[in-house]
Structure 1
Amino acid sequence: MSISMEAQAKPSDSDRLVTVTLDPNTITSIDPDEVHEWRIAIYDLLEENSFRPARVDAKGPFALHVSIIGNSIVLDVRHPETFQPIAAHYLSLTPFRRLIRDYFRIREAYYEAIRSAQPFQIETVDMARRGMHNEAAELLRTRLHNKLIIDLNTARRLFTLICAVQPYASRIDESKSELPTVLFVCSMNSVRSPMAAALARQAFPGRIIARSVGVDGGKADSFVHEVMEEVGVDMSVHTPHILDELVANRFDLVVTLSDDAPDAVAKKGLEAGAVEHWPTPDPSLVEGSRDLVLNAYRELRDQLRLKVRERLEPLVSGGSQSP
């Protein structure tokens, strides 16, 4: 069941959410009471909020697509009409476990107090509820620092939505998959690593799990979209991610593609069957005519295509991680 709600934004309301959707593959329930709780949480969030992604050049209003992968909530910010990706962030649930438990405990106590308690008892429980919500909202804003810019009230409503959906999530655990896994890492996850991961998925469809991240955050690159479309790969849905947002920490092969990536990978402490460095030029640094720049991107694409096929074939075929 896909949950989607929308609100109309005023012309001046640019820094706000107008659409929130829940991923039907990872957030599932057939209980109407649970679905109703999700709808109320979404309605409250859309009714009043202040929201915009950091570190990206994008004008609102915005759409938010929520999914759960492993132990993380994925907050995927998109254009509200085209649903083109703007920014996506993984938010670990671990720091919120106590607060989520408190949320349900205090909520039940509040409902019980409303039914049978005296006014002063209701007020006491309500104060505890507000205090817990404020603590959770501040923690949420801290964890989303430099990722999403939200005010306290928006953080309160977003935390309520997280509490509403996370107990009923269908967890995705790639660690149980028998497919080989490879991670490509470059500086900004805008050009080299996403191209390599996409080419790996194209070369070995359904036979490999290929991911890509950057040392720092970047922006989607239109030249990447153009040259990859020439070989039948749609990169328009790519959203750059950074190492710190990585959920999985175990890969059969980790490939670094930029000079700053090896040290960043080493500091991250990933578990890997093998780690390799492929010195790869950055075509975004090429200056000149549009055709000259495009040719640099094409040359990178073709080099990566050959290297990916050659290197990953033994891995996909069940061979050693070593080249």
Structure 2
Amino acid sequence: MDKRPFDPKTDRIVTVTLDPNTITSVDPDEVHEWRIASYDLIDTNRFYPARVTAKGPYALHLSIVHNHIVLDVRHPETFKPIAAHYLSLTPFRGLIRDYFRIRESYYEAIRSASTHQIEAVDMGRRGLHNQAAELLIQRLDNKLVIDLETARRLFTLICAVQPYATRVTEEESQLPTILFVCSMNSVRSPIAAAMARRHFPGRLIARSAGVRSGKVDHFVHQVMEEIGVDMSVHTPHTMDELMASNFDIIITLADDARRAVAERGLHADVMEHWDLEDPSEVEGTRETALAAYRSLRDQLDRRLAQGLPALLEAVENGV
């Protein structure tokens, strides 16, 4: 395929998000590493999906399914899907192991080695990055077009997220699945899903979706960051993108969500409707808006902590 020159205004990634169901960690050092790798990629990259008419810039959403990392390219404002590619991790296993080995050697050299030794380790690290980047470009040929520096930074991000990813999908997992649905998957349902994972780590699979496409809400990021939950990795999803139609629990958080679940024939052993106000509709100052978002967060926190154990028990007992 003939590759066109990169347009610096449009051929770039401006947002990176991670799937919280398949890339999970409660270790702040690991989360910090993800953030740094994401910021580095966003800071400098040249990127566009091949064989599509959509123009950039782009959002990149990462998830891991079995032995593949999914590179899901989306519109950065509406998060409408543009192209998704499954990249097998098998060809990169040795390079990923070497990446961590050389990284530890580099950190050790900085602490105690001579300048000559540090330079030698750094040269090995650069060589590994170039080798991995070239392989990445080769494997993504005719799918995603990237330059060598972008490939280097994307490989670093892959290394940062994949050791801590769960490879268990909903189809294979014995954990109960819970779906939260609101209008646009920007505020209520993603906060609910994040709080459910926070209260019951390793005990459930929590997903969220919207009736229609929404945008990233930075007030959500701020109020969740206040309690130590990183929501900057969230990508809004619509119900059209759901891979399953059966869940153990479905909780709707808006009237149009309740209607949409019924119209689409989604099934769950337990279904509930929680009528919660959308804080994005509150008018007033920034502090007034933040107070409304904090109120929603705290309402969901209490309701999940008090009510979800009984719902999970009902599922487990087949009630």
TM-score under structure 1 length normalisation: 0.54
Which segment drifts farther, 171-180 or 312-321? 312-321
2:252 pairs, out of 225, 249, 256, with: 256
Seen in structure 2, the aligned counterparts of structure 1 residues 261 and 86 have a Cα distance that, compared at 3 Å, is closer
TM-fit CA distance, 1:233: 0.6
Q: Which residue of 1 aligns with 2:79?
A: 87
Seen in structure 2, the aligned counterparts of structure 1 residues 234 and 48 have a Cα distance that, compared at 3 Å, is closer
Pair 1:9-2:1 in alignment: no
TM-fit CA distance, 1:321: 7.1
Residues 97-124 of structure 1: CA distance to partner in whole angstroms, max 9, x if unpaired? Answer: xxxxxxxxxxxxxxxxxxxxxxxxxxxx
Looking at structure 2, the residues matched to 65 and 233 of structure 1 have their Cα atoms a distance apart, in angstroms, of 18
1:286 pairs, out of 282, 289, 299, with: 282
Seen in structure 2, the aligned counterparts of structure 1 residues 75 and 263 have a Cα distance that, compared at 3 Å, is farther
Aligned pairs, number: 211
TM-fit CA distance, 1:275: 1.3
Residues 267-311 of structure 1: CA distance to partner in whole angstroms, max 9, x if unpaired? Answer: 211121011110000000000111111000000000001111122
Residues 220-263 of structure 1: CA distance to partner in whole angstroms, max 9, x if unpaired? Answer: 10000000111111000100000010012211110000110111
| Paired AA for residue 309 in structure 2 | E
Secondary structure at 1:232 match in 2 = coil
Secondary structure at 2:178 match in 1 = strand
Q: Which residue of 1 aligns with 2:241?
A: 245
Q: Which residue of 2 aligns with 1:215?
A: 211
Q: Which residue of 2 aligns with 1:206?
A: 202
RMSD over aligned CA atoms reads: 4.2
1:226-241 equivalences under 5 Å are 226-241=222-237
TM-score under structure 2 length normalisation: 0.55
Q: Which residue of 2 aligns with 1:106?
A: none
Q: Which residue of 2 aligns with 1:148?
A: none
Secondary structure at 1:220 match in 2 = coil
List runs of 5+ in structure 2 lacking aligned partners: 24-46, 86-140, 145-166
Seen in structure 2, the aligned counterparts of structure 1 residues 310 and 65 have a Cα distance that, compared at 3 Å, is closer
| Paired AA for residue 286 in structure 1 | V
Secondary structure at 2:171 match in 1 = helix
2:183 pairs, out of 184, 187, 196, with: 187
Percent of aligned pairs sharing the same letter = 52
Secondary structure at 1:260 match in 2 = helix
Seen in structure 2, the aligned counterparts of structure 1 residues 315 and 221 have a Cα distance that, compared at 3 Å, is same
